[in-house]
Structure 1
Amino acid sequence: MTNTLTNINTFIDYAKSLKGDEKGEAQVFCDRLFQAFGHQGYKEAGAELEYRVKAKGKTTKFADLLWRPRLLLEMKKRGEKLEKHYQQAFEYWLELVPQRPKYVVLCNFDEFWIYDFDLQLREPVDRVSLEELPDRFTAFNFLFPENRQPLFNNNKIDVTRNAANKVAQVFNRLVERGEKVETAQRFILQCVVALFAEDIDLLPRGLFTEFLTNCQTNRFSSYDLIGGLFRQMGSDRPAPKDSHYHNVSYFNGGIFSIVEPIHLTRSEIDLLLEAATERWSKVEPAIFGGLFESSMGKEERHALGAHYTSEADIQKVVLPTIIRPWRERIEAANTLKDLLALRQELINFKVLDPACGSGNFLYVAYRELKRIEAQLLTKIHENFTRAANTIGTMSLVKTSQFYGIDIKPFAVELAKVTLMLAKKLALDEENQSLNVVQMNLALDMDKALPLDNLDKNIRCDDALFCEWEPVNIIIGNPPFLGGKHIRLVLGDQYVDRIFAKFPDVKDVDFCTYWFRLTHNHLGENCRAGLVATNSISQGKSRKVSLDYITQNGGYIYDVISTQPWSGEANVHISIINWLKTSENQALTYRIDHKIVSNINSALKAEVDVSQAVRLKANLNLCFQGVIPVGKGFLITEKEVQQWIKIDSINQTVLKLFSMGANLAKNPHGKPDRWIIDFNDMTLEDASEYQLPFNHVKTHVKPERDKNRRQTTKLNWWKYGEKRPAMRKVLASLPYCFAVPRVSKWAIFIPFLSNYLAGDKSVVVASDDFYVLGILTSGTHRIWMHAQKSTLGTTIAYTHNTCFETFPFPQNCPEKTKTEIRVAMQTIHDYRTEQMERKQWGITQLYNQFFNESASQLAKLHAQLDQLVCQAYGIKTNDDPLKFLLELNLEVANRESQGLPVVAPGLPPSV
Structure 2
Amino acid sequence: MSQIVDDLKAFRDYAATLDGDEKGEAQVFCDRLFIAFGHKGYKEAGASLEYRIKKQSAKGTSFADLIWKPRLLLEMKKRGAKLELHYQQAFDYWLNAVPNRPRYVILCNFDEFWIYDFDKQLFEPVDRVSTADLHSRYTAMNFLLPVEKAPIFNNDREDVSRQAATETAELFRLLTRRPGDPVPRVEAQRYLLQLVVSMFAEDIDMIPAGTITSLVRDCLDKGLSSYDLIGGLFRQMNDPIPAKGGRYVGVPYFNGGLFAEILPIELTKFELELIGGEGGIASKNWSRVNPAIFGTLFQQSMDTAERHKHGRHFTSEADIQRVVGPTIVRPWQKRIDAAKTMQELLALRKELSAFRVLDPACGSGNFLYVAFREMARLDIRIMLRLKDMVSAVEFEKQSTLLNSINPRQFFGIDNDSFGVELAKVTLMLAKKLALNEAIDALSEGKGEFTKGTLEFSFHGDDALPLDNLDENILLGDAMFDTWPEADAIVGNPPYQSKNKLQEEVGALYLHNLRERHPEVDGRSDFCVYWYRLAHDNLKHGHRAGLVGTNTIRQNYSRVSGLDYIVENKGTITEAVSSMIWPGSAVVHVSIVNWIKGEESGLKRLYLQEGNRIDEGWRHADLDRIPSSLSFSQDVTKAAAIEANAAGHCYQGQTPGHKAFLVEANAARELLKQKPEYGKVLKPYLIGDDLVGEINSKPTRYIIDFNGLSILKAKSYPDLFQRVENHVLPDREEAVEDEEKRNALVLKAKPKAKVNHHHANFLKYWWRMSYARDAMMRAVAARKRYIVCVRVTKRPIFDFVSSAISPSDALTVFAYDDDYTFGILQSDLHWSWFVERCSTMKADPRYTSNTVFDSFPWPQAPTKAAVKDVAQSAVALRELRRELMEEHRLTLRELYRSLELPGAHPLKDATAALDAAVRKAYGMGKKVNPLQFLLKLNEELVDLEAAGHPIVGPGLPAGFNAGAYRTSDCISP
| TM-score normalised by L of structure 2 | 0.89
> 2:660: which partner in 1?
633
Taking structure 1 as reference, are residues 109 and 853 closer, same or farther at Cα in structure 2, changes over 3 Å only? closer
Q: 1:403 aligns with which of 388, 403, 411?
A: 411
Q: 1:883 aligns with which of 932, 944, 958?
A: 932
> 2:625: which partner in 1?
599
Taking structure 1 as reference, are residues 667 and 112 closer, same or farther at Cα in structure 2, changes over 3 Å only? closer
Give the secondary structure class of the aligned counterpart of 1:678.
coil
Taking structure 1 as reference, are residues 199 and 641 closer, same or farther at Cα in structure 2, changes over 3 Å only? closer
CA drift of 1:645 comes to 5.1
CA drift of 1:605 comes to 1.7
Q: 2:809 aligns with which of 747, 750, 760?
A: 760
What is the identity, as a one-letter code, of the residue corresponding to 1:155?
Answer: D
Alignment partners' CA distance in 1, 2:507 and 2:497: 15
Give the secondary structure class of the aligned counterpart of 1:718.
coil
- 1:201-350 aligned at under 5 Å gives the runs 201-218=205-222, 220-239=224-243, 241-273=244-276, 274-295=280-301, 308-350=314-356
Alignment partners' CA distance in 2, 1:848 and 1:11: 44
- 1:74-89 aligned at under 5 Å gives the runs 74-89=75-90
Q: 2:569 aligns with which of 546, 553, 576?
A: 553
Q: Is the 8 A contact 1:669 1:751 kept in 2?
A: no
The 10-residue stretch of structure 1 (348-357 or 562-571) with the greater mean CA deviation from structure 2: 562-571
Q: Is the 8 A contact 2:56 2:96 kept in 1?
A: no
Q: Is the 8 A contact 1:706 1:713 kept in 2?
A: no
> 1:54: which partner in 2?
54
Q: Is the 8 A contact 2:172 2:301 kept in 1?
A: no
Q: Is the 8 A contact 2:162 2:296 kept in 1?
A: no
CA drift of 1:156 comes to 1.9
Alignment partners' CA distance in 2, 1:342 and 1:879: 47
CA drift of 1:830 comes to 1.3
Q: Is the 8 A contact 1:622 1:765 kept in 2?
A: yes
Alignment partners' CA distance in 1, 2:331 and 2:156: 31
In the alignment, structure 1 residue 610 sits paired with structure 2 residue 613: no
The 10-residue stretch of structure 1 (682-691 or 321-330) with the greater mean CA deviation from structure 2: 682-691
Q: Is the 8 A contact 2:859 2:950 kept in 1?
A: yes
- 1:859-874 aligned at under 5 Å gives the runs 859-874=908-923
- 1:801-816 aligned at under 5 Å gives the runs 801-816=850-865
Q: Is the 8 A contact 1:478 1:532 kept in 2?
A: yes
Taking structure 1 as reference, are residues 683 and 233 closer, same or farther at Cα in structure 2, changes over 3 Å only? same
Alignment partners' CA distance in 1, 2:187 and 2:599: 53
Give the secondary structure class of the aligned counterpart of 1:530.
strand
> 2:98: which partner in 1?
97
> 1:817: which partner in 2?
866
Percent of aligned pairs sharing the same letter: 46
> 1:42: which partner in 2?
42
Alignment partners' CA distance in 2, 1:490 and 1:883: 44
Taking structure 1 as reference, are residues 216 and 850 closer, same or farther at Cα in structure 2, changes over 3 Å only? closer
Taking structure 1 as reference, are residues 2 and 764 closer, same or farther at Cα in structure 2, changes over 3 Å only? closer
In the alignment, structure 1 residue 156 sits paired with structure 2 residue 157: yes
1:849-876 Cα distance to aligned partner (Å, 9 max, x none) = 4655521110011111111111112223
- 1:482-561 aligned at under 5 Å gives the runs 482-503=497-518, 504-561=520-577
In the alignment, structure 1 residue 663 sits paired with structure 2 residue 712: no
> 1:749: which partner in 2?
798
Alignment partners' CA distance in 1, 2:893 and 2:789: 14
Alignment partners' CA distance in 2, 1:343 and 1:63: 35
Alignment partners' CA distance in 2, 1:876 and 1:470: 53
Taking structure 1 as reference, are residues 707 and 889 closer, same or farther at Cα in structure 2, changes over 3 Å only? farther
> 1:571: which partner in 2?
587
The 10-residue stretch of structure 1 (802-811 or 1-10) with the greater mean CA deviation from structure 2: 1-10
Give the secondary structure class of the aligned counterpart of 1:700.
helix
In the alignment, structure 1 residue 8 sits paired with structure 2 residue 8: yes
> 1:675: which partner in 2?
702
Give the secondary structure class of the aligned counterpart of 2:273.
helix
Q: Is the 8 A contact 2:797 2:824 kept in 1?
A: yes
CA drift of 1:426 comes to 1.7
CA drift of 1:417 comes to 0.9
Alignment partners' CA distance in 2, 1:188 and 1:554: 43
In the alignment, structure 1 residue 432 sits paired with structure 2 residue 431: no
Give the secondary structure class of the aligned counterpart of 2:851.
helix
In the alignment, structure 1 residue 451 sits paired with structure 2 residue 466: yes
Give the secondary structure class of the aligned counterpart of 2:222.
coil
1:387-422 Cα distance to aligned partner (Å, 9 max, x none) = 534222621011111111111100111111111111
1:594-646 Cα distance to aligned partner (Å, 9 max, x none) = 23223222221222211111111112410001212222222244554465455
| TM-score normalised by L of structure 1 | 0.95
Alignment partners' CA distance in 2, 1:637 and 1:117: 51
Q: 1:422 aligns with which of 423, 430, 453?
A: 430
Q: 1:412 aligns with which of 401, 420, 423?
A: 420
Q: Is the 8 A contact 2:326 2:574 kept in 1?
A: yes
The 10-residue stretch of structure 1 (275-284 or 596-605) with the greater mean CA deviation from structure 2: 596-605
Give the secondary structure class of the aligned counterpart of 1:701.
helix
Give the secondary structure class of the aligned counterpart of 1:193.
helix
CA drift of 1:736 comes to 0.9
CA drift of 1:298 comes to 8.8
- 1:583-732 aligned at under 5 Å gives the runs 583=598, 585-592=600-607, 594-597=619-622, 598-619=624-645, 620-637=647-664, 639-641=666-668, 643-644=670-671, 647-667=674-694, 669-708=696-735, 709=757, 710-732=759-781
Alignment partners' CA distance in 2, 1:636 and 1:903: 39
Taking structure 1 as reference, are residues 354 and 526 closer, same or farther at Cα in structure 2, changes over 3 Å only? same
Taking structure 1 as reference, are residues 859 and 277 closer, same or farther at Cα in structure 2, changes over 3 Å only? same
What is the identity, as a one-letter code, of the residue corresponding to 2:604?
Answer: Y
Alignment partners' CA distance in 2, 1:647 and 1:153: 72
In the alignment, structure 1 residue 25 sits paired with structure 2 residue 50: no
CA drift of 1:131 comes to 2.3
Alignment partners' CA distance in 1, 2:95 and 2:186: 42
Q: CA RMSD in A?
A: 2.3
Taking structure 1 as reference, are residues 852 and 196 closer, same or farther at Cα in structure 2, changes over 3 Å only? closer
Alignment partners' CA distance in 2, 1:34 and 1:315: 33
Give the secondary structure class of the aligned counterpart of 2:292.
helix
1:228-266 Cα distance to aligned partner (Å, 9 max, x none) = 211111122222x22332311111221111111112222
Structure 1 unaligned segments of length 5 or more: list them: 300-305
- 1:135-154 aligned at under 5 Å gives the runs 135-154=136-155
Alignment partners' CA distance in 1, 2:142 and 2:726: 60
Q: Is the 8 A contact 1:668 1:749 kept in 2?
A: no
The 10-residue stretch of structure 1 (311-320 or 399-408) with the greater mean CA deviation from structure 2: 311-320
Taking structure 1 as reference, are residues 203 and 681 closer, same or farther at Cα in structure 2, changes over 3 Å only? same
Give the secondary structure class of the aligned counterpart of 2:444.
helix
The 10-residue stretch of structure 1 (131-140 or 487-496) with the greater mean CA deviation from structure 2: 131-140
In the alignment, structure 1 residue 856 sits paired with structure 2 residue 905: yes
Taking structure 1 as reference, are residues 694 and 13 closer, same or farther at Cα in structure 2, changes over 3 Å only? closer
Taking structure 1 as reference, are residues 197 and 724 closer, same or farther at Cα in structure 2, changes over 3 Å only? same
Q: Is the 8 A contact 1:599 1:606 kept in 2?
A: no
Taking structure 1 as reference, are residues 885 and 19 closer, same or farther at Cα in structure 2, changes over 3 Å only? same
Q: Is the 8 A contact 2:572 2:603 kept in 1?
A: no
Give the secondary structure class of the aligned counterpart of 2:259.
coil
> 1:391: which partner in 2?
398
- 1:110-121 aligned at under 5 Å gives the runs 110-121=111-122
Alignment partners' CA distance in 1, 2:332 and 2:63: 24
CA drift of 1:764 comes to 0.6
Give the secondary structure class of the aligned counterpart of 2:513.
helix
The 10-residue stretch of structure 1 (168-177 or 679-688) with the greater mean CA deviation from structure 2: 679-688
The 10-residue stretch of structure 1 (688-697 or 193-202) with the greater mean CA deviation from structure 2: 688-697
> 1:303: which partner in 2?
none
Alignment partners' CA distance in 2, 1:259 and 1:76: 53
Q: Is the 8 A contact 1:746 1:795 kept in 2?
A: no
In the alignment, structure 1 residue 182 sits paired with structure 2 residue 208: no
CA drift of 1:668 comes to 5.5
